[in-house]
Amino acid sequence: MKWLYGAIAVAIGLALHLAFSLVLAPLVGSFYVVEPGHSMMVQAMRVAAVAFPALILFAICGLARPGDSGRVIAVFSSLFLIGLCVWTVREEIARLTALSPGADTRALLRKTDIPLFCAVCFAGFVAFVAPVVSLVRVKKTTRGYNKPIRSKSAAHGDAEWATMRLAGELFPEDGALVLGELYRPDLDAKSQSRIFKPGDRRTWGSGGRKPLMGFNADLGSGHGLIFSGSGGFKTTGTVIPMLLSCPWNTVVLDPSTELYPMLADYRKKMRGPGNFRRVHCITPKDLESGFNVLDWIGRGEDSAEKDIAAVVGWIATGQVKRADPNDFFRNSALQLIRGVLAHICLNRGFDATRPRTLRTLRELISQPEPDFLMQLGWILRAEEKDSFAALALGPFKSMTPQTFSGVYATAADLTNWLSFKEYAAIVSDGAFSSLDLVEDDIDVFVALDLQTLQDYPGLARVIIGGLLNALYHANGEVKDRVAFILDEAARLGNMSLLEVARDAGRKYGIVLVMVYQALGQLRQQWGDKDAVSAWFESTSWQSFSAVTDVDTAKALSERCGYFTQEIISYSQQARTGKGSGGVSVSASTALHKRALIMPDEIINTMRRDEQILCVPGVEPIRCGRAIYFRRDDMKKLVKENRFFARESQEADDYRNEIKASPQAA
């Protein structure tokens, strides 16, 4: 379209030249028939035929300069004016030669039309200046208006975006965890659309061809938070690029159940031939894919009793909230479960024919109430009086039948998910051990669909908790770091072990990457404002993209800061009267506080392939996202995504059409 605008500008200039030369000049000459008026008007028309098109094209170039077609219009106008100057000079030389055929050059120059010479100089000046000025790009917002004027004063703040040079130094291209691409989508000259469409390469701009930004977990705690709205390419733009670059062991919570089929082959062979790493997928579809989540109990510095109490906290189904002392039945049920689990794990006289697993725990608690009471008496007789199990279970022996029935029913409900054989199997047995994460090169994909996470979060909690505690009990004796990439982390509920990993995980080699859809999910999971603030204070970076939540946009806008905007106001006053009439114009300057990016701009104008990275001690970084399917170096490493097969095929078809069109031409 910009080429058409350039052609229209040339057509306007040519039409003006022809109008003065072929229409107005004869018309005006017919009115002024007496000399010297006739000669003067003809001369004026010749000057206007050059100067007026140059003036109009100069104005057009100035108006079009902020737009995408400004440079094309300037170049077309410049070429036209150069041609017009050459044509005019040629005609003037022919006129002078016809007047004095034998005159020398000096004599001809004395007869040159001086006004016409000035008009040609002006046209030449415009032809030179217009392209040069068009090279200076006007910074505009995504909506198209000019950027606010930044004051030299910092009275209301001086926030600004970090430069790409600083971002590149902070996040080098060879970093372990890919966070994004090193460019500004909002200033991308190749972007032709404000909307990012995965299947239309014309909307990608420079995305997919820019250097990557990587994080080596060498800044602060090493942990990160990701906030990306629904449909915001969390998997394709965040998790997959991280797994393609991460050289460490990884634990991935995958509610979409799509990552293991896409990345398993690459992760196995990423260290080259002959140096394969294990890639394990824990899924309810394979009963042998799990591990005994109790295999780490008692192996670390903490006592086995504390480990058991932690496991019981994870098992409980439903939204886990902070301890409520008024919830008598729930607290009593948790105490009952702790006592029974302590007997299973710690008592040497426990039935050797039964495995020490969560499946066994469910078998004991799912008995009819009279049978369990008999079992409870046997447990108390088998335990020492001062044992953890005896102290936990003792009060239940003398509890009134009605109260005990409520407690027992609550305990059965909290462990209800262990009644499903596929769920109980993957947390009770399997060919995998949590110690493998410490000793071997291995990746673990926890493929639990979103519905399972929503209904039975305890299943994911015991798996993630068992793997985390295995690292704690290794006391830092890990080959390298272990990255826990937890998509839909809010589904895990208020899991205190994650807070411990956030605050002390660095020394144990743990790197947490928590993925949320909005800030509200973080608040819902962790509760009060202070708990949420602790996550922002204890993470090295936070990424915001595809934000659709107003509260998240407001918090991000405030996090980016404010700068001092200079607003110039003009006032005009007209005066009348004999000897005192006239117009006076005055200008006043005011300083105002403006957010670096407004909440509505975050929601309405940021592209979905754009993100804002917040890093403590550094200006906010506005950069691109490393969406894997638009990067050729990543796409060839990943198997087909079954959810986006159609979009990928459309993109390939468009790419083939582009390649075939030059050949057909």
| Statement to judge: residues 411 and 442 lie in one domain | no
Residue 215 lies in a domain: yes
Which of 94, 116, 134 delimits the end of a domain? 134
Q: What are phi and psi of 17, to 5 degrees?
A: -60, -45
Predicted confidence at residue 515, as pLDDT, reads 94
Residue 644 lies in a domain: yes
| Statement to judge: residues 42 and 176 lie in one domain | no
| Statement to judge: residues 606 and 462 lie in one domain | yes
| Statement to judge: residues 264 and 233 lie in one domain | yes
Radius of gyration (Cα) for the chain, nearest Å? Answer: 37
Beta strands in 380-490 (DSSP E): 442-446, 482-486
Total domains in the fold of the chain: 3
Spans in the chain with pLDDT lower than 70:
1, 29, 32-38, 66-68, 102-105, 107-108, 136-146, 300-302, 317-326, 352, 572, 574-583, 642-665
Encoded amino acid at 521, one letter? Q
| Statement to judge: residues 322 and 355 lie in one domain | yes
Predicted confidence at residue 320, as pLDDT, reads 45
Dump pLDDT digits (tens) for 65-83: 766 677 888 888 889 889 9
Cβ-proximal residues to 236 (8 Å cutoff; 6+ apart), any chain: 627, 628, 629, 641, 644
Encoded amino acid at 34, one letter? V
Cβ contact 176:215 at 8 Å: yes
CB atoms within 10 A of CB 308: 26
**CATH number for the domain harbouring residue 639:** 3.40.50.300
Which of 419, 443, 465 delimits the end of a domain? 419
Cβ-proximal residues to 591 (8 Å cutoff; 6+ apart), any chain: 151, 153, 155, 156, 564, 565, 566, 567
Residue 322 lies in a domain: yes
Cβ-proximal residues to 657 (8 Å cutoff; 6+ apart), any chain: none
| Statement to judge: residues 326 and 384 lie in one domain | yes
| Statement to judge: residues 450 and 528 lie in one domain | yes
User: Strands 224-228 and 510-516: what pairing?
Assistant: parallel
* Bridge partners (DSSP) listed for residue 614: 542
Percent of the chain with pLDDT strictly greater than 70: 87
Q: What are phi and psi of 503, to 5 degrees?
A: -85, -35
Predicted TM-score (pTM) of this structure: 0.75
Q: What is the 3-state secondary structure (H, E, C) of 98-161?
A: HHCCCCCHHHHHHCCCHHHHHHHHHHHHHHHHHHHHHCCCCCECCCCCECCCECCCCCCCECCC
Predicted confidence at residue 302, as pLDDT, reads 66
Residue 583 lies in a domain: no
Predicted confidence at residue 445, as pLDDT, reads 95
Predicted confidence at residue 664, as pLDDT, reads 46
| Statement to judge: residues 458 and 402 lie in one domain | no
| Statement to judge: residues 455 and 414 lie in one domain | no
Cβ contact 567:150 at 8 Å: no
Cis status, amide bond into 36, omega within 30 of 0: yes
Residue 290 lies in a domain: no
Dump pLDDT digits (tens) for 516-562: 999 999 998 888 778 888 999 999 999 999 999 999 999 999 999 99
- Cα dihedral 140, 145, 149, 155 sign: negative
Which of 362, 392, 419 delimits the end of a domain? 419
| Statement to judge: residues 376 and 347 lie in one domain | yes
Strand (E) or helix (H) holding 60: helix 37-64
Residue 277 lies in a domain: yes
| 3-state SS, residue 595 | strand
Predicted confidence at residue 325, as pLDDT, reads 47
| Statement to judge: residues 437 and 362 lie in one domain | no
Residue 149 lies in a domain: no
Cβ contact 258:281 at 8 Å: no
| Statement to judge: residues 238 and 375 lie in one domain | no
Q: Domain range for residue 520?
A: 164-284+425-563+596-651
Residue 267 lies in a domain: yes
Cβ contact 491:255 at 8 Å: yes
